[in-house]
Amino acid sequence: MNPEPFVDDIESYAQDIVDTVREPLLMLDTNLRVQSANRAFYETFQVSPAETENQLIYQLGNGQWDIPGLKTLLEEIIPTSSVFNDFELEHSFPIIGRRVMLLNGRKLRAGSHSAIIVLAMEDVTERRRSEADLRAIETYAQDIVDTVREPLLILDTTLRVQSGNRAFYQTFKVSPSETENHLIYELGNGQWDIPALRTLLEDIVPTSSVFNDFELVHDFPELGRRVMLLNARKLQAGHHGELVVLAMEDVTERRRAEEEVAKAKEASEIANKTKSLFLANMSHELRTPLNAIVGYSEMLQEEAAEQNLDSFTDDLRKITMSGKHLLALINDILDLSKIEAGKMELFLENFELDTLIEDVATTIQPLVEKNSNSLHIELAPDLGRMRADQVKVRQALFNLLSNAAKFTHEGSVVLTGARERMDGSDWVVFRVADTGIGLSADKIVRLFQDFTQADASTTRKFGGTGLGLALTRRFCQMMGGDVTVRSTPGKGSTFTIKLPAIVTDSAKSEFVNPVVSDSNDVVVANDRSTDPPTLPGTCVLVIDDDSAQRDLMRRFLSKEGFTVRSASSGAEGLRLARVLLPIAITLDVMMPEMDGWAVLDALKSDPVLCDIPVIMLTMVDDSGRGFTLGAADYVTKPVNRRRMTRILKRYSCANPPCPILVVDDDSATRASMRRMLEKSGCRVTEAENGEMALKSMEQERPSLIFLDLVMPMMDGFTFADRARLHPEWRSVPIVVVTAHDLTGDERRRLNGCVESILHTSGCSRDELLHQVRDALDNYSIPHEATAPHEATA
Amino acid sequence: MSRILLVEDNEMNRDMLSRRLMREGYEVIIAVDGQQGMSMAQSEAPDLILMDMSLPVIDGWEVTRFLKAADATKEIPVIALTAHAMSTDRDKAMEAGCDDYDTKPIEFSRLLEKMEALLGTSGERASAGGKTS
C-alpha cells in the first residue's frame, strides 16, 4: 500500500472543503507568504492564483493588503498565540472599495507540513452599515420623542417605565433615574397612583391597542391640580416586546380658558337679556305718562274747539304733536331693540299700493309744506297690490319722505312707485328723490347705522334720533328687500326701496354694510345672490335656542345644498313650520320654556305638520358632544289609528305580513299596539326593554320598530344607539312612541336619559352632523319600496 | 244709546277714554280689573266691551275666552286694547275670541270707526252724539 496517494486524497479533500467555504480564506506560511487561497478569496478580491501564491501577503494586488492593522495582527499576535478571533479591519481596497472585514486566524500544523496560518476574512460591510442605520433610526426616534413638547412615557406591559422623554422629566420635575424601571404608580412618591389611570391602564389597555383623549383631573403634589388629556398606543417594538406609549397633554390652561369663555358668554347673554328687559320696561314706563299727555291734550283740544276757545287750541295742538313725536321716538328705540333681539315680527297682509301711498302722502303733506317744498307722486298704472307688512312699508316710506322734506328747502320731493321684474320674480320699487342738501360719500357710509346722523351738526339743525334710516333699512331687509341711496352734495338724494311683491315670512336677509362705488355716487346694496330664495323641497327648519348651534347647523346644511331657516324657540319654530312647511326639522331636545318634547308633541298633533320628518338632537356647547335620536318618525300615545296606518304605509315592508317589533315596558300599551298592528296585517313581536329588544332582533330582523323611550334596564335611547351600530339593523326604521302631554317627571326622566347618553356615548360634533345628513338623505329619497304599496292602497 | 263696558285698570286711561266716549254720546260703565269686568259683562248686558288685556286678578284674554264661551255673553263684541303692537299680540287677542283689536295709545277716531262697525250703528253717533249735556 502506498501511503502517498492517501495523503493526496486528504489534501484534495481538504482543498475541496476550503473551496466550498463561502468566506474568503488565505493560507500563509510562517513567513507570511501565501501558500494557497480558496475560490471565495479569488472571487471576492478579483485576483488570480498566479498573482497570489508564493507572494508575501503585503504585496498582494500591488500592495493593497499592506494594512497597518493587519501587520500588527500577523506580526505581533500570531507569533505568540495560535488563535485570534473577530479582528475587525476597515480598509479601502483599490478594486473593491471600502470594506469592513472581520478576520479570524488559526495557526495549524498539518502533518509533515510546516505550520500554516489560516486567515478567514468575513466581509461585514453590509452588516455594519445596517447596524449603523438601525442605530441612527433609534437615535432619530429618540430625538423625535425628546422634541415632542407633550410629556411621553414608554411603558412595558407590566406597566414599568422603559423611558420618558425630556418633556416628561421637565413637566413632572423628576429625573430619569427615579423614573426608569419603576412601576408607573410608584413615580414621584406615588403621585401617579390615580384610580382613573389604573382603570385605564389595567382595564382598557390590555383589551385595545389604542385609546384617545382620556381626560384625567388630578392634584399632583408638585404641580397642583391639573387636567391631563391622555392618549395611548400599544406597539410591537422588536426585541423590546410590546410597549405602551402614553402621551400626556396638559390641558389645564385650555380648560380654564374654555371655562372663562363660557362664563363670559353667559355673562354677556345675561347682560343682553337685562338690557332688553330694561328697554321693554323703560319704554312701557315712558309710554304710560305720554299716553296721558297725548290723550288729555287731545281731549282738551276737542273741548276748546267746542267752546270756541281758539287761543287754547293752537297751544294744545303743540303739546299733542310733541307728545306724539316723543312717543314715535320711543317706539323707534323699542323697534330697534326688538330687531336686535330677533323679536321683531312681520305681519303679512295683502293691500292696495295706491291706497297706501295716498295715505302716506296725506300724512306727510304738512311736513313737506313746512319748508315750502312741493310733493309729486308718480305711480305706474299697473302698481296693483302687494303682500307685505303694511305698517312697516308705510313707516319706511314715511321715514324717507320726512327726511327728504326735512333736508330740502323750496325744492321738490318726488315719490315714484313701480313694479319691476328681477331674477324671475316681481318686485315693488319706491323711489324718493329730493333736491335737497345731498350727502357726501363718507356720510353715506354712516347713513344707515343706528343712532348715526350724517354728522352731529345735522342733529342740532334738523333734530331726530338718527334711527329712522336704520329702522327703514332693517324693515326692508326683514321683508327680503333693501334700501339704497345715490346722492350728490348740493343737488339732492334719491333713496330707493326694493321689496318683493310677495313677501314671505322667511325672507329676512343678512345685514350687509354699504358699498362705496365712487366718491359722490354711492350705492348701498345688499348682494342677494348669496341668499337664495326658499326653493320648495329644500328647506330645512332648525329649531335650537343656542345661536352657535343654529349657526353650525345652518352652515353645515347649506353646504349640503339645503335652504336653512332657523328658530330660536319652540314657539317660533312651530310658527315657522306652519309658514314654511319644511322638508325636515331638526329639533333641539334641551330648550328653556318649551322644550323639544313639547315642540315634538305639538308638531305631531298638528295634521298639517305631523308628516314632516323631525330629527331630535342636542349638543353640549363646550364639550362639543351631542346625540341624535336615530328615529325615523314619532307618534304620541295613545296612538291615533289614522296616523299609525300612514306610518305603516310609509315604513313597513312590501310583502306582508311584516314582522314588527314593539318595545315598551307597559304591557297594556304593548297589547293595544299589537291589536292595532295585527288588524293591519302585521306580525308583532314584543319586548319590554331595550335589552330584550336587541335579543329579539338577533332572532329576526323586524321591518319596523315601535319604541318607547323611558324603560327600565335599557332605555330607548341606548337601544336606538346600539341598533344604529349594527350594520344590518341600521336601516330598520324606528318609530318613537312618546307620551302626549308629558308630565314633569316624565320630562325629567327623558332629559336625564339624554344627559346620560351625552356623558357615556355621545358623539362628536362631526359625527352628529353626519348623522343629521344621513337622516336627511333618508328622508329626501322617495321610499321606493313603499311606493307601489301606497298606490294599491 | 249704546252701552259700552270699559275694562281698564289704569286710572288715567279709564278717565280719558270714558269721558271722550261719553262726549260722543255713549253710555259708559267701568270695570277696573278682569274679575269685575267678567261679572259686569254678565249683569249689565253691555252692547260692546273695550278690554285692556293686561289686567289684574284675571287677565283680558281669559275674561274674553270665558265670555265667548258663555251663551249669555258670547254675542257681545269685544275690542282688545293692548300696549303692544306686535302681530303676535293681535293673533293672541283674536285667538282668545276678540272681535277686533287696537293698540294704545288710542287713536280715538280709529277706535270709534271700529266700534261703530261692530255695533252696526254708524248712524247712531250722529244722532245720539249731539250736544246733550
Please report residues of A whose CB lies closer than 8 A to that of B83: 284, 287
State residue A81 phi and psi, 5-degree precision: -135, 155
Residue B132 lies in a domain: no
Please give the Cα distance from A103 to A85 (Å, whole number). Answer: 7
Contact B105 A296 (CB under 8 A): no
What confidence score (pLDDT) does residue B98 get? 92
Under CATH, to which class is A539-792 assigned? Answer: alpha beta
CA distance B55 to chain A (A): 15
| Sign of the CA dihedral running A360, A362, A363, A367 | positive
Question: CATH code for A19-123?
Answer: 3.30.450.20
Contact B90 A296 (CB under 8 A): no
Nearest by CB to residue B105, choosing from A284, A291, A299, is A291
Sort out which chain A residues have CB atoms less than 8 A from B53's CB and list them: none
Q: Which residues from chain B sit within 8 angstroms of residue A291, using beta carbons?
A: 12-13, 104-106
Query: Does A327 contact B at CB distance below 8 Å?
Result: yes
Residues of A in contact with B12 (CB under 8 A): 291-292, 295-296
**Residue in chain A lying closest to B20 (CA):** A299
Greater confidence, B129 or A637? A637
Q: Is the pLDDT of residue B53 over 50?
A: yes
DSSP string, A653-689: -SSSSPEEEEE-S-HHHHHHHHHHHHHTT-EEEEESS
Report the residue of chain A nearest B12, measured CA to CA.
A292
Antiparallel, parallel or unpaired: β A704-708 and A734-739: parallel
| d(CA A324, nearest CA chain B) in Å | 9
- CA of A317, closest CA in chain B: separation in Å? 15
Q: Is B119 a member of any domain?
A: yes
- Number of domains, chain B: 1
* CB pair distance less than 8 Å for A295 and B131: no
Chain A residue at shortest CA distance from B107: A295
Closest to A345 (Cβ–Cβ): which among B12, B13, B87?
B87
- Judging by DSSP bridges, how do beta strands A385-389 and A348-352 pair with one another? antiparallel
Residue B4: which residues within 8 A CB-CB, separation 6 or more?
B21, B26, B27, B28, B29, B46, B47, B48, B49, B50, B115
Residue B39 counted as domain residue: yes
Contacts of A388 in chain B (CB under 8 A): none
A58 backbone dihedrals φ, ψ, rounded to 5°: -65, -20
Per-residue burial over A642-677, b = 16 or more CB atoms within 10 Å of its CB, e = otherwise: ebbebbbebbbbeeeebbbbbbbbeeebbebbbebb
Residue of A nearest to B90 (CA): A347
- Say whether B87 and A298 touch across the interface (CB within 8 A): no
CA distances A607 to A195, A542, A580, A612, B94, Å, are 55, 20, 15, 10, 22
Question: Which fold, A348-530?
Answer: Heat Shock Protein 90 (3.30.565)
* Closest A-chain CA to B103: A291
pLDDT at A530: 33
C-alpha to C-alpha distance for B94 and B82, rounded to whole angstroms: 12
A580 to chain B, any CB pair closer than 8 A? The answer is: no
Q: Where in the sequence of chain A do the CATH 3.30.450.20 domains occur?
A: 19-123, 131-250
Q: What is the amino acid identity at position B112?
A: L
Is A783 at the interface with chain B, CB within 8 A? Answer: no
Q: What is the pLDDT of residue A760?
A: 66
Residue B43 lies in a domain: yes
Q: What is the CATH number of domain A256-340?
A: 1.10.287
Q: How far is B108 from chain A (nearest CA, A)?
A: 9
Q: What are phi and psi of A629, to 5 degrees?
A: -85, 110
Q: Best residue in B11, B86, B87 to probe A by mutation, most A CBs within 10 Å?
A: B87
Say if A296 is an interface residue toward chain B (CB within 8 Å): yes
How many Å separate Cα B107 from the centre of its chain? 14
* Interface mutation vs chain B, best among A298, A300, A387, most B CBs within 10 Å: A298
Q: State yes or no: pLDDT of B64 exceeds 90.
A: yes
Q: The domain A131-250: what is its CATH number?
A: 3.30.450.20
Q: Is residue B133 part of a domain?
A: no
Find chain A residues with C-beta within 8 A of B85's C-beta: 331, 391
pLDDT average, residue stretch B64-74: 92
Residue B114, pLDDT score: 92
Look at residue A655 in the predicted model and tell me its pLDDT.
64
CB contact under 8 A, A306 and B104: no
Give me the pLDDT at residue A113, please.
67
Mean per-residue pLDDT pooled into runs of 10, chain A (793 residues): 60 79 86 87 84 85 77 78 82 81 82 79 88 86 82 86 87 84 81 78 75 80 82 77 85 88 85 74 74 86 87 86 80 76 77 87 86 91 88 90 88 92 87 87 70 48 63 88 86 91 66 33 33 53 86 81 83 82 85 81 79 81 70 74 74 71 86 82 86 86 85 80 80 80 71 72 74 71 33 32
- What's the complex ipTM? 0.75
Size of chain A, expressed as the number of residues it contains: 793
The answer to whether the Cβ–Cβ distance between B16 and A296 falls below 8 Å is: yes
Please give the grid coordinates belonging to residue B111.
277706535
For A542, the grid coordinates are 332648525
Residue B32's domain comprises 3-127
Axis crossing angle, helix A252-306 with helix B11-23, rounded to the nearest 10: 30
Of B13, B23, B86, the CB nearest to A291: B13
Mean pLDDT of B53-81: 91
CB pairs under 8 A between A and B: 41
Compute the mean pLDDT over every residue in chain B, rounded to the nearest whole number: 84
- State phi, psi for A51 to the nearest 5 degrees: -85, 10
Q: Is residue B30 part of a domain?
A: yes
Query: Is A294 in Cβ contact with B12 (below 8 Å)?
Result: no
Q: Chain B contact for A294, CB < 8 A? A: yes
How many CA atoms, within 13 angstroms, populate the side-chain half-sphere of residue A304?
15
Mutate to test the interface with A, among B52, B86, B132 (most CBs of A within 10 A): B86
Which pLDDT value is given to residue A433? 93
Residues A58 and A231: their CA atoms lie apart, in Å, by: 62
Please report, for the domain that includes residue B122, its CATH number.
3.40.50.2300
pLDDT for residue B66: 93
pLDDT at position B49 is 96
Any B CB within 8 A of A276 CB: no
Q: Using CB atoms, which residue from B16, B85, B88 is nearest to A299?
A: B16
